[in-house]
Structures are given as structure tokens and as C-alpha cells.
Amino acid sequence: MKTFHVSRRSFLKRCSVLAAMSGLPLWFVERQLSAAEEPAPKKPGANDRPGVALIGCGGQGTSDTKNAANWGNIVAVCDVDESHTAAAVKEFTVDGRTPKVFSDFRRVLERDDVHVLVNGTPDHWHTLVNLGATRAKKDVYAEKPLTLTIAEGRRLVDAVRQSGIVLQTGTQQRSSARFRLACELVRNARIGRLTSASVWLPAGLRGGPFETAAVPAGLNWDFWLGQSPLVDYVPQRCHRNFRFWYDYSGGTMTDWGAHHNDIAYWAIGLLAPREVSSRVLAEPIAGGFTAFSDYEVNYTYANGVKLNIFTTKDDSVYGATINKDGQRNGIRFEGTDGWIWVNRSQITASDPELLKTPLPEGAVRLYSSSNHMENFMDCVKSRAAPICDVETGHRSATMCHLGAISMRTGRHLTWDSGAEKFTGEHAGEANAHVQRVMRPPYDYSFVG
């Protein structure tokens, strides 16, 4: 008994420290740690570690793969830019073991020593790489947004289900205790009936016109462009800034929006909004970035809940954003009995007791993960569904695409989430954006 009391005191002390450091309520931390007190899985031996390949060796892909290296061996890297693969080889050479280098991801898919892919390509390449993974039976950690278009998402969902691979969408906020707590509280009516949610996103870049330039040595520009239209090389189109061009992405609506809109989707608990409208606050500059930089998007769900998306900006640094209430980008849930605000650094409420009071027995509990990559690797072994599986990633990306389509058409639109198409007035115009013409040979036939 004495040992138990000492252990219990130590446990409570640890919970108190973690609660103070994280800003999470003590009851929630105790629940988290209690669940984590189960025996830790055996650390994988050398023969238990899957072979991991990185496809798309930019900053995010490299970061994801550094994390994946905790559970697997990095055996291959692939990019259409030789400078990226050179940096990746340097990063992932361990004890004299150097990963193989490829410029065509299809050759990676042919390798028997590759079991898991990290897909860190630009958005317009996500789907073809992921479809290739389904055909090659490779599990894949797929960066967000899962797709470039809504139609790509449904095709991918079907392919993943048929193949049986494990696909984790890289919306890692799902594996944050802070965001899960907010969503559980909303789902359990802690703020009463949910009436609205507001998401603040960073404003995008608005620049141009840009001049063409010679393609850098070692970059396969045609392959990089892939399914998108063939255009002359412009430095501001490639690599990090690709997300500000509709040819390759959807602006901050599908960048940061893929994170925060996903959390709103998790909390609301419905597949998709019924209606979407928008207001563009800054038009693109001719010859410059094409994705809208500053905007407002408004969704209405079948149960009457409103979801409002706003951009905020600080002209000095992309991403350093503050809304009118002094809060950095995040999500505010409004209910009949109060509100909850959450982002990556804090969770607050209109009344502190909304957070401090434990949820009762039998309350709605959401999928729990404390590490997004670890959850994926665990599912690779167990074959269970990860926290952000392909259907979740598709529905989350769809929310973002709906907003982008409303902005691009300038229309108030009605969406049928079952049929996954627009209906009613302006449906024809909007449905033209549900899928895109893919430039040969970089269409679906490219991966078989």
C-alpha cells in the first residue's frame, strides 16, 4: 500500500506539472496519462523497422521523414530537383548507410525494400503519388491537403479502400491534446448548443508581376509542373511559394485551412456544409500569384451551424497573424452557453469552469493520438485505421476546396455531400472546378 500511495502522489505531481505547462485542465491531463500508463510497446528491432522512402524532399517532407526515422529506416529519397535529393541524402545518411536517390517516384514504388512512403510533394502531385502507393501496396504518410481537387479525393478514397494500405493525412493537429479537448467539449455541449465557429487563417502572399527565368540546373521543370499547364519557369511558382498559385494549390485556404478547417469539421461532426459563400478582399495582381490572399468564406451546415473563415495578416512576415481581438490564427467555437478558443499554443474559454469541469462518464470521446507519425507507424503494424485516414483527409480537404471554388466563381453555392457535387443555381459553373483537366502524360495513367 505504501508503494501505491507514493506512486499515486508521483503521478498526480506529474499531472499537475504537465497541466501547468500545457494549459490543459488537470482532469484531462490525468485521463491522458492514465491511458498512457499501459505497458509501452516493445521497441522495434533492426528487422522490425520498415523501409521508408521520402518523395518530395522539401522542408515539410524532410521534417516528416526525420520523425519517421524514429520508427523506420530511410532507404530512398526522390525529388525532381537534384539539389533537394542531395540535401536529403546528407540528412538521412546514417552510419555510412546512404539512401538510394531517384528522380521518378515510380521507380521508388518498384522497390521491395520500401514499405512506407512519406509524400511531401507539392499539392498538385499528392494524388498521383498516393494512387501509385495504392497500386504498389505501400503505406503512405500523405501531406495535406490530401488532394488538389474534390474528384481526386473520391478516387483516392476508393483506391485506398480497395488496396488495403494505411494512409495517414498529415493534419497533425488531430494528434494534439489541446485540439481534441476543444472538440470533445463542443461535441458534448459544454458550451451549450453550437451555433457558430470562426476560423482565422494567415493571409496569403500578394505579389507580382513576376518575370520568367532560366530553369535551374538539376530541376526537371516539366516533371515538377506535372498535371498543371505547361508554362515558362518563374522562380516564384516553384517550391515553397507553389501554394499561392491555383495551378498547384489553393492558397492559405488549403494550406493553414487544411489544419484549422479540419478541427472545425471534427468538432461540428457533419460531413460537409450545405451552403458556401465568400467575399474576396484583395484581387490578385496581374502576372503574379493567382490564389486569393485576403478573403472571407461563410459556410452553413444542415443543422444551422455557421462556420466563418477570416484571413488576418501582418505585412512583415507571412504567418505572423493576429485577429482583431489580438488572437493569433486559430478557432473560436460559439455556443448558447459560452465560447472556446483554441490554437496551437493555448485553449481558453468564456468561463474557466468550462474547461476545468471534467466530462461525465459516458461522454463522447474522440480518437486519441499524442503523436501523428507514431499513430501512423502503429497502424502500419496493426493495420488499424489511423486518426486521419483517407476518408477524413478527403472530407477535410473538401471543406477547403468548397471555399476556394466559391471564391473563384464568386458565387453562393449549394453542396450535396452525398453525391459530392454542387446543386441548384450556378451548379454547372461550380462543378467545373470539382475536377481539373490533367496535362498528359501526367494524368491518372501516369501511375498505371
Residues 158 and 263 in one domain: no
pLDDT at 25: 80
DSSP letter string over 353-377? HHHHSPPPTT-------S-HHHHHH
- DSSP alpha helices (H): ranges in 250-371? 257-268, 353-356
Range of the domain at 295: 177-366+391-447
Residues 131 and 246 in one domain: no
pTM: 0.91
pLDDT at 2: 39
SS3 189: coil
C-alpha cell at 30: 490525468
Q: Is residue 333 part of a domain?
A: yes
- Measured from the Cβ of residue 386, the count of other Cβ atoms closer than 10 Å reads 26
Q: Is residue 9 part of a domain?
A: no
Phi-psi group of 218: left, alpha or beta (phi > 0 → left; psi -120 to 50 → alpha; rest → beta): left
CATH number where 245 lies: 3.30.360.10
Residue whose C-alpha cell is 492514465: 34
Q: Is residue 338 part of a domain?
A: yes
Residues 157 and 199 in one domain: no
Residues 347 and 209 in one domain: yes
pLDDT at 39: 47
Structural domain total, the chain: 2
DSSP letter, residue 235: G
Q: Is residue 19 part of a domain?
A: no
pLDDT at 385: 98
- Give the integer Cα–Cα distance in Å for 342 and 359: 18
Asked if omega into 209 is within 30° of 0 (cis), the reply is yes
Residues 343 and 410 in one domain: yes
Domain boundary among 151, 173, 195: 173
Residues 242 and 167 in one domain: no
CATH number where 82 lies: 3.40.50.720
Residues 238 and 309 in one domain: yes
Q: Is residue 249 part of a domain?
A: yes
Q: Is residue 191 part of a domain?
A: yes
Answer for the pair 144, 397: CB distance below 8 angstroms, yes or no: yes
Residues 218 and 131 in one domain: no
Residues 401 and 428 in one domain: yes
Domain boundary among 173, 196, 224: 173
Residues 153 and 272 in one domain: no
- Give the integer Cα–Cα distance in Å for 406 and 244: 17
Residues 404 and 307 in one domain: yes
pLDDT at 43: 43
Residues 401 and 423 in one domain: yes
Domain boundary among 144, 173, 202: 173
SS3 434: coil
Q: What angle do CA 51, 113, 72 make, to 5 degrees?
A: 10
Q: Is residue 18 part of a domain?
A: no
pLDDT at 1: 40
Residues in the chain with pLDDT values less than 50? 1-6, 39-45, 315-321
